Amino acid sequence: VSTNVRLACGPEVVELPLDRLLPTRRLDDSVRKSVKYRCIEASVRELGVIEPLVVFPKPDADGRYMLLDGHARLLILKDL
């Protein structure tokens, strides 16, 4: 059994403009009305982003990044 583990993503934090992120899925309007979404929104408003968005560089996309995790946080950040 191999004990080697490779990280799929780099551990570094990169600051990016929100318009450089390409969501990989779409959230419907019911998500914005959910209790969980409102809790995340309140947390971001009061504390900032605690858990960073997970992105991956998209080749041949003019410096854009695919959003892999954090779609609700992205919507909240755009609204704020």
Which of the four pLDDT bands, split at 50, 70 and 90, describes residue 10?
A: confident
How many CB atoms lie under 10 A from the CB of residue 70? 19
Element (H, E) at 22: strand 21-23
- Look up residue 67 and give its amino acid: L
Query: Model-level pTM?
Result: 0.81
Q: Which of 66, 75, 79, 60 is nearest to 16 (CA)?
A: 66
Which of the four pLDDT bands, split at 50, 70 and 90, describes residue 1?
A: low
Residue pair 63/7 in contact by the 8 Å Cβ criterion: no
For the chain, percent of residues with pLDDT exceeding 70: 98
Strands 65-69 and 21-23: parallel
